[in-house]
């Protein structure tokens, strides 16, 4: 394993001596960093609470107004803001969000890199998803940014039939989204991004692409996973990296309960750091509460998603994926209980990887994607290092 230098994160962005990164350039290597936020940024004070209400209210009012008026959803917006389109996916018309490259930075739209973002249980047009989408567009004005959300959850999009939502496999969602990508990506290369539950969808989309006839494969060159939820199952005895894996249902439920307990603390902490985004998310939660006709199908879809995620991913498939694609980048919080359990497996599969990089943020948990600029900055640093 590469060395773990103590690095510094400031409010303005990550700062470190690039010569200290320690990412190995040889094949089958693991680039591993531990980035330490500054104490005054990580710790909370009375000022955090004093400065919270106004930005929170601003985000809440803006998101509520946009929903009630459908303004933000339907209007055509200029770069870098995402525009939402209804696209036929599977047997439904579902919303996607797309930002085309800034025309000042590109001439040939058909050959640009497309950043495909799978964000799990979030809305397209509010909160974390929107902020990450826009941060990616601003960081890479010469790229196309395309965002999908998990079907059956959206306040705007259609729900799934109750039984379908409960039994639907994340693999099905991954295959459906992979199928529509050529409509938007043309001949350019593709980076698959996934956050939390979306990391599983992105990973399964990469697996489906890998299994295709080479003439039908899409040009996926990079996987970027934020707060991943990719637990290995069916690990051979001679390859064991931990006492338990996702094949053990009791172990998985212990991790799940620990995760929900973590989120009860981590989400409010991140809300204090990002009050405007927290306000948008609170507005979405209130809107969900008023959509009584969607309660049952949405709840069953969430339960079905969780149940399928708990099954984990075959360990051999994880090894195959990291060995097949040019680069796999992982960004996670040091306090994220899911990442704590996944770290040994990623250390182990690094032996089979073309390029596997991990950045672990001290003082952060599973909700680190709420800090959208930080998350995109860190993904970009890994891309530059490769």
Condensed to tens digits (0 to 9), the pLDDT of residues 102-135 reads 888 777 777 799 999 998 888 877 778 888 999 9
Average pLDDT, stretch 209-213? 93
Dihedral sign from CA coordinates of 269, 260, 360, 327: negative
Average pLDDT, stretch 1-22? 32
Q: pLDDT tens digit string along 250-283?
A: 999 999 999 999 999 998 888 888 888 888 888 8
Lowest model confidence (mean pLDDT) among 72-86, 154-168, 184-198, 235-249: 72-86
Average pLDDT, stretch 173-199? 93
Nearest alpha-carbon partner for 123 in 287, 6, 4: 287
Stronger pLDDT, 57 or 156, i.e. the higher one: 57
Environment class of 367 (CB within 10 Å of its CB; exposed 0-12, middle 13-18, buried 19+): buried
Q: Beta strand pairing status for 114-118 and 190-195?
A: parallel
Nearest alpha-carbon partner for 124 in 161, 87, 160, 162: 87
Assign residue 79 the CATH number of its domain.
Answer: 3.40.50.1820
Q: What percent of the chain has pLDDT over 90?
A: 45
pTM, to two decimals = 0.86
pLDDT of residue 342: 94
Inform me whether the pLDDT recorded for 285 exceeds 70: yes
Inform me whether the pLDDT recorded for 191 exceeds 50: yes
Average pLDDT, stretch 330-355? 92
Which segments of 110-248 does DSSP mark as H helices, in order? Answer: 127-139, 162-167, 170-180, 182-185, 197-211
Inform me whether the pLDDT recorded for 172 exceeds 90: yes
SS3 240: coil
Nearest alpha-carbon partner for 231 in 242, 245, 241: 245
Average pLDDT, stretch 308-323? 95
User: How far is CA 129 from its chain centroid?
Assistant: 9
Q: Cα–Cα–Cα angle for 92, 98, 101, nearest 5°?
A: 155
Mean pLDDT score of the chain: 83
Between CA 336 and CA 329 the distance in angstroms is 17
Domain containing residue 280: 6-385
The answer as to whether 1 is a domain residue is no
Q: pLDDT tens digit string along 28-51?
A: 344 555 655 543 344 455 566 677
For residue 46 the two structure tokens come to 């009375």
Length of the chain: 386
pLDDT range class, residue 311, cuts 50, 70, 90 = very high
Nearest alpha-carbon partner for 358 in 319, 385, 337: 385
pLDDT of residue 210: 95
pLDDT range class, residue 54, cuts 50, 70, 90 = confident
Average pLDDT, stretch 232-238? 92
Between CA 332 and CA 24 the distance in angstroms is 20
The answer as to whether 175 is a domain residue is yes
Inform me whether the pLDDT recorded for 297 exceeds 80: yes
Inform me whether the pLDDT recorded for 219 exceeds 60: yes
The total domain count for the chain is: 1
């Amino acid at each position: 394993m590469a060395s773990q230098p103590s690095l510094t994160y400031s409010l303005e962005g990550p700062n470190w001596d690039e010569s200290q990164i320690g990412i190995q350039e040889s094949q089958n290597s693991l680039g591993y960093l531990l980035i330490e936020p500054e104490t005054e940024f990580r710790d909370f004070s009375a000022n955090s609470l004093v400065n919270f209400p106004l930005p929170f209210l601003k985000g809440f009012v803006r998101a509520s107004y946009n929903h009630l008026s459908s303004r933000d959803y339907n209007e055509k917006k200029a770069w870098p803001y995402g525009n939402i389109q209804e696209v036929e996916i599977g047997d439904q018309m579902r919303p996607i969000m797309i930002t085309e490259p800034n025309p000042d930075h590109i001439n040939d739209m058909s050959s640009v890199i497309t950043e495909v973002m799978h964000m799990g249980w979030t809305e397209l047009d509010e909160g974390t998803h929107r902020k990450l989408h826009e941060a990616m567009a601003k960081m890479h004005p010469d790229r196309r940014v395309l965002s999908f959300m998990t079907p059956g959850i959206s306040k705007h999009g259609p729900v799934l039939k109750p039984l379908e939502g409960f039994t639907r496999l994340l693999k099905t969602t991954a295959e459906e989204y992979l199928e529509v990508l050529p409509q938007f990506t043309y001949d350019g290369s593709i980076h698959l991004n996934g956050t939390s539950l979306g990391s599983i969808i992105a990973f399964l989309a990469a697996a489906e692409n890998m299994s295709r006839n080479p003439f039908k494969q899409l040009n996926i060159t990079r996987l970027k996973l934020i707060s991943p939820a990719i637990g290995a199952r069916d690990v051979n005895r001679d390859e064991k990296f931990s006492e338990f894996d996702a094949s053990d249902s009791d172990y998985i439920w212990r991790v799940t309960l620990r995760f929900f307990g973590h989120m009860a603390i981590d989400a409010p902490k991140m809300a204090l750091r990002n009050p405007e985004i927290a306000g948008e998310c609170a507005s979405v939660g209130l809107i969900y509460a008023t959509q009584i006709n969607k309660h049952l199908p949405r709840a069953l879809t969430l339960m079905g998603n969780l149940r399928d995620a708990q099954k984990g991913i075959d360990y051999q498939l994880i090894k195959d994926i990291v060995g097949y694609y040019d680069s796999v980048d992982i960004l996670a919080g040091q306090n994220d209980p899911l990442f704590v359990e996944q770290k040994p497996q990623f250390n182990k599969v690094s032996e089979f990887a073309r390029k596997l990089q991990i950045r672990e943020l001290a003082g952060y948990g599973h909700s680190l994607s709420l800090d959208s600029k930080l998350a995109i900055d860190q993904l970009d640093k890994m891309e530059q290092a490769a």
